[in-house]
Amino acid sequence: MAAAAVTADGRARVLVDGNAIPLLGLGVWQVGEGRECEDAVRWALEAGYRHIDTAQAYGNERSVGRAVRDSGVPREEVFITTKFYPRRKDAEAEARRSLERLGVEHVDLYIIHWPRGGPTRAWDGMQRARERGYARSIGVSNFSVGELDELLAVADTPPVVNQVQFSPFEYRRALLQGCEQRGVAIEAYSPLGRGRHLGDDRVREIADRLGRTPAQVLVRWCLERDLVVLPKSTHRERIEQNAQVFHFTLSDDDMAALDALDTTGGTDRARERKWW
């Protein structure tokens, strides 16, 4: 398996289409539109994040756009992802609406939120969104290896990322390997198990021994695997803490201990059940 193309500073990965994506991003799922979301994005940018991951379905694109604009960080330095809400008909039309809400000319990455209606259903619109310049890169989310293969069989422009729930407890080894073999980068959402994994004794033991927090260990585990990782928080000190992950490493033994927490059997599936 070819090693992922991580940039010299270790902070970004070069996607198959040539675009670079910062490895650490702030996820804003379930972060309320308005003050809560604007604060979280502003704090993240102040803490050095240069990647914000939102979605049409999150209902907070306006706040993300406003916070980026108000931050003073140049737009071209911030990687913005949004996602096509697959209950809607056409991804190109929805991309245009997302851009209006975000108040930007393009997003850096536009992905299908989940494969509703089948893995190929929305791709034509995704490709048109890219051709029109609405999105620099296009990808998918919650796709298994089988679903990716169905899409790759018909795509003119292949997806360059697959955003899935990923952590030591959901170490989807066959999915990761299958994605890497197909030139698709994995983005890890809910890397803290939505907070559930932070209390695990084995994670805590490693964190205590290294003088880090459980969240830092879980985020670092993703970086050690060259994954793009999207921890979510609405608290300033946690947002800052989750970004302090580039100045320590995990030993092979600690990585092996974390790998062993997997509860998916190393699956090539992206999710344990359908929610649509």
Binding site for ligand A2P (CB under 6 A): 27, 190-195, 198, 213, 215, 231-235, 238, 241-242
Whole-number Å distance between alpha carbons of 136 and 157: 12
Sign of dihedral through CA atoms 100, 105, 106, 107?
negative
Nearer to ligand A2P, 78 or 192 (CB): 192
Q: How far is the CB of 235 from ligand A2P (least distance, A)?
A: 4
The single residue listed with the structure tokens 């809910």 is 190
Q: How far is the CB of 37 from ligand A2P (least distance, A)?
A: 11
Nearer to ligand A2P, 65 or 191 (CB): 191
Select from 140, 100, 99 the least CA-distant residue to 123: 140
Nearer to ligand A2P, 31 or 78 (CB): 31
Buried/exposed 257-270: b ≥16 CB within 10 Å, e otherwise: bbeebbebeebbbb
Residue 41 exposure: Cα atoms within 13 Å on the Cβ side: 32
Q: How far is the CB of 236 from ligand A2P (least distance, A)?
A: 9
Cβ proximity of 132 and 102 under 8 Å: no
Nearer to ligand A2P, 82 or 190 (CB): 190
Residue 231, burial from CB neighbour count under 10 angstroms (0-12, 13-18, 19+): buried
Q: How far is the CB of 43 from ligand A2P (least distance, A)?
A: 11
CA 209 vs CA 36, 191, 218: distances in Å: 34, 21, 14
Cβ proximity of 209 and 192 under 8 Å: no
Q: How far is the CB of 18 from ligand A2P (least distance, A)?
A: 28
* Residue 58 annotated among the catalytic residues of the structure: yes
Nearer to ligand A2P, 209 or 235 (CB): 235
Whole-number Å distance between alpha carbons of 215 and 201: 13
Residue 221 exposure: Cα atoms within 13 Å on the Cβ side: 31
Q: How far is the CB of 271 from ligand A2P (least distance, A)?
A: 15
Nearer to ligand A2P, 182 or 238 (CB): 238
Q: Report the DSSP pairing between strands 107-112 and 26-27.
A: unpaired
Query: Which position among 49, 58, 134, 189 bears the catalytic label?
Result: 58
Q: Cite the active site residues.
A: 58
